[in-house]
Amino acid sequence: MLHSNKNKLLFLFVLLLVTGVSSGEENCRYFWVVRDGLSSPEEIDDLLARAQAAGANGIMVQVVGRAEAYYLSDLIPPANFSGFEDPLQYVIQKAGPMGMEVHAWVNAYLVWSAPWEPESPDHIYHTHPEWFTSHSNGRSSRSYTQEQAEAAGLVGATLSPAFPGVRNFITDIAVEIAENYNVQGIHLDYIRYPNSSFGYSSGELELFEIDTGSSPGEDPELWSTWRQQQVTETVATVRAALRSTDPGILLSCAVMANPYSAASEFSCPWQSWISEGIVDFVCPMAYTSSPERALELAATTTSVHPEKVVYGIGVWNQTVTNALRGAQEALSLGAGGVCVFSLNSLPAGTEQTLGRGWGTGASEHGISPAYFNRVSLP
């Protein structure tokens, strides 16, 4: 009988471990920190002081934007940060003692959005023009002006998820950061197709035909599934490489908030990523200023594994009080925390308002049930 009770206690301990059950008092309180705020030590100091005043316990700091590095990289050209040698290392040195996790925010497929071309000849825009996704009319995302891109629902020049070279490019960046910096996580943004009108370059269509023997017009459902698999394979490849580099490092993604349109329109089936354990958590970008819509998104984003959802709110387009309504609803439904976009745009004097409204305690991530499983690519 004693032996049986010991087995039951051991089983309960393991169950609690792998499901990441928390006390209900721990939650992630994160800010996205846009790269514009990394131009000087003084600017970083000011941002981190504001984050601390709001009670934050983590930051998503944008260290790869437009495929340029805000850290010391051997893979991608350096961004222009006014001669400031290594913004990421400075953030780590300052944020750690303040009790904040640092997650390296990496723009994945989106690699250029300025109205001019990259200056560096080593930029991927110049070295691999064949890797960019194209519109259904055959036009490469690399060739749009800003006005044309906006009309097409395109942020900028975007790499195709379908090419193995692209997956390796993104994975190598993630591994480079994980190997050289004491970050708690890698955070992938723009890990999706721009919209359903893109994915039609000759190379992409050729890969689809090789894999399926079909064309998008012949089998639209298969085409949709295949596109989702390409994005998923990138995430799984990054996950596998990080597990090899540092098994404890967290992998998260910024995702379109509605999980259904995220999958159907943007080929980003993030709920399945959570269930399969290839991400540790996601940050749905629920930036709506409508209280009614915020409550709807709080419910839909937390419908699957809510503890792995860090609900994203915007404070540049509404008051902090209004933004907190959706966040508090998500927390009441079991969300793992809140992420605010952005620390740079947080209105002055609202730190205490945010601090009173988004929870307390240490960050809690738990361990995915799939943590000990071998990661398999689609």
Backbone angles phi, psi at 268, to 5 degrees: -125, 80
Task: Provide the pLDDT confidence category of residue 80 given band limits of 50, 70 and 90.
Answer: confident
Residue with tokens 């809140």: 338
pLDDT at residue 355 greater than cutoff 60: yes
Q: What is the pLDDT of residues 211-242, one digit of tens each?
A: 999 999 999 999 999 999 999 999 999 999 99
When pLDDT is averaged across residues 355-370 and rounded to a whole number, the result is 78
Q: What is the pLDDT of residues 156-192, one digit of tens each?
A: 999 999 999 999 999 999 999 999 999 999 999 999 9
The structure tokens listed for 280 are 């540790």
When pLDDT is averaged across residues 49-58 and rounded to a whole number, the result is 98
pLDDT at residue 23 greater than cutoff 50: no
**pLDDT-above-90 percentage for the chain:** 86
Task: Provide the pLDDT confidence category of residue 361 given band limits of 50, 70 and 90.
Answer: confident
Q: What is the pLDDT of residues 283-332, one digit of tens each?
A: 999 999 999 999 999 999 999 999 999 999 999 999 999 999 999 999 99
What is the rounded distance in angstroms from the CA atom of residue 124 to the CA atom of residue 126?
5
pLDDT at residue 75 greater than cutoff 80: yes
* Residue type (1 letter), 201: S
pLDDT at position 363: 84
For each of the domains in the chain, give its residue range(s) and CATH number, in order of start: 26-279+314-326+337-357 (3.20.20.80)
Q: Which residue spans within 115-235 are E strands per DSSP?
A: 157-158, 185-189
What is the rounded distance in angstroms from the CA atom of residue 322 to the CA atom of residue 336?
20
pLDDT at residue 32 greater than cutoff 60: yes
pLDDT at residue 67 greater than cutoff 50: yes
Dihedral sign from CA coordinates of 240, 241, 245, 250: negative
The structure tokens listed for 263 are 């999958």
**pLDDT-above-70 percentage for the chain:** 90
pTM above 0.85, yes or no: yes
When pLDDT is averaged across residues 80-97 and rounded to a whole number, the result is 90
